[in-house]
A and B are shown apart, each in its own frame.
With several copies, the nearest count.
Chain A
Amino acid sequence: MKKLLNDPADLVAESLRGVERAHPELRVDHEQRILYRADAPVRGKVGLLSGGGSGHEPAHAGFIGPGMLDAVCAGEVFTSPVPDQMAEATKQIDGGAGVLHLVWNYTGDVMNFDMAAELAAAETDTTVEAVVMNDDVAVEDSLFTAGRRGTGAAIAVEKIVGAAAEQGRGLSELADLARRVNDASRSMGMALTSCTVPAKGSPTFDLPDDEIEIGIGIHGEPGRRRVPLASAHDIAGMLVDPILADRDFTGGEGVLVFVNGMGATPALELYLMYNEVAALLDKAGVVPVRTLVGPYVTSLDMAGCSVSITRLDDELLRLWDAPVATSALRWGM
């Protein structure tokens, strides 16, 4: 394992120290591993809380700031944070209008956020709502399973709901909006290589030089199937086709297309990939009106990418375009 690292046990703690030093616009509770907008709670605004395991940087701390999240909880690498963290953060970001939990759909995250909501309800009078985000079409959507993973669409949900929260909208309206954006989003990912969890010290799975994994998540888990190494053109098809098969993305104002790097894939390749994705969308009559290309939801040092598509109506487009000032997404301010 070759990484910029000291003791793997200290990785998350030390990285959070770096985030704190680099971003004076954040407040970091190292004890509890919570990162806040420095000015939280914002009076009268619904507080937005997300978070999850570490190893997905810039998710989640890169999305804290005006126009997006108020706080995130950081877990160990690929391990959901614990209810105490979430309950504490919920308390701290309640500006009097309640707190919305934006939960990435993983068994651990959902259960820990559930317990946090129970704790918060027992200990404070903060009103909490939770929305679970589950956009990954690699996984069958079924009531009898853990359901679909939450992946890239969370960026659209958090950005759009963040903008609406700045406008002063109420908790249940924001929860509805979050569900609407989630429903309007689908994602699919692939890996060229496994990642290496530092505590384990070796790759999570072995992948020969001439094979790739299709339908991966963001925790280094193997995908739905292993196929021979293919061209970017063919890979784009393997990602875009199942997305378009799952939902109609024509109409509306068009779509937001997000080509996400898994951590070790550089921008040169991601833009090449976007070219292929956009060509397929063209052919399908789907119109990209906004684009995001880069490593936003990573899986440690995995090489690969995922594609997320969100259908935008006029309102969602305006909220996406609204000012945002986080370390990973910033415009208009």
Chain B
Amino acid sequence: MADVDVLDLTVLDRWLRLFAASVAEQKDTLTALDAAIGDADHGANMHRGMTAVVEALDATPPADPAALFKQTGMVLVRSVGGASGPLYGTFFLRMAPATGGAGALEPETFAKALRAGVEGVVARGKAEPGDKTMLDALAPALDALDAALAAGESLAAALRQASTAADEGRDATTPLVARKGRASYLGERSADHQDPGATSAALLVGAAAAAVAGP
């Protein structure tokens, strides 16, 4: 199987399943990170949510990408709770209209939808980059994706670069003092810990790269 260059339902479905799988695998790590500067539930939250997302994909396979994003967003909002539920939920809910109803997404459309999703996260959570949140992985990933696509790179290469940027953004949260979310309650003590939400967000971007990559 070669790299794919449009994101049809099969690829998007694969994206979500891969994300669910890496969340399942990293569940304890996510919770351990959240224990250090939060309330020790991020792994359980994301796992509960992504399990429900995969169940929904199995039960009611969506008709188009917009439906897939909407269904995923609704399921996350309904099943996760906490901070990550509304944020990841809003992310996917906002992606839906940005697809313009297409049956398969061109790389640029996908990038636009992702940006709409991230803008939704900002609107919902009022965080800025540097606040030590999932945004610190998502925002640089989007910038890298846009830049790579503008430079004419393939979808697979562009998402690989986005994933690298997300990982770097996640790592860069470590020294930060949190200003949003539960970690902000710790003040200076939140420094020297990697943000759990940025960690799961990097898994999300990594799953996208994996979903389009050839075997």
Hey, what's the 0/1 contact readout for B25-36 against A, CB within 8 Å counting as 1?
000000100011
Q: Which of B54-62, B107-115, B159-167, B181-189 forms contacts with chain A? A: B181-189
Task: Name A136's closest neighbour in chain B (CB-CB).
Answer: B185
The A interface, classified by DSSP as helix, strand, loop or mixed, is loop
Q: Are B83 and A107 in contact (CB under 8 A)?
A: yes
Tell me which of B35, B82, B87 contacts A75 (CB under 8 A). Answer: B82
A84 to B74, CA, bound (A): 10
Indicate if the CB atoms of B184 and A146 lie closer than 8 Å. yes
The number of chain A residues touching the other chain, given as a range, is: 35 or more
Task: Tell me the interface secondary structure of chain B in the complex.
Answer: helix
List A55-77 residues whose CB lies under 8 Å from chain B.
Answer: 75-77
A221 touches B124 (CB 8 A): no
**B182 & A219 in contact (Cβ 8 Å cutoff):** yes
Q: Are B78 and A106 in contact (CB under 8 A)?
A: no
B97 adjacent to chain A (CB < 8 Å): no
The reply to whether A145 and B184 contact each other, CB–CB distance below 8 Å, is yes
Determine if B79 is an interface residue (Cβ-Cβ < 8 Å). yes
Q: Which of A196-204, A227-235, A260-268, A287-295 contacts B (4 or more CB under 8 A)?
A: A196-204
The interface residues of chain A lying within 8 Å CB-to-CB of B182 are 106-107, 146, 217, 219, 221
User: In the complex, which residue of chain A has the Cβ closest to the Cβ of B45?
Assistant: A79
CB distance from A218 to the nearest CB of B (A): 9
Is A271 an interface residue when CB atoms closer than 8 A count as contact?
Answer: no
* Partner-B contacts on A (CB < 8 A): 53, 75-84, 106-108, 111-112, 114-115, 138-140, 144-146, 149, 197, 199-200, 204-205, 217, 219-225
Which 3 A-B pairs rank lowest in CB-CB distance, beginning with the nearest? A219-B39, A108-B82, A111-B86
A79-B44, A112-B81, A217-B185 are known; give 20 further A-B pairs, CB within 8 A. A75-B81, A75-B82, A76-B44, A78-B40, A80-B82, A82-B80, A82-B85, A84-B77, A106-B182, A107-B180, A107-B182, A111-B124, A112-B86, A115-B86, A146-B179, A146-B184, A205-B35, A221-B185, A222-B186, A224-B187
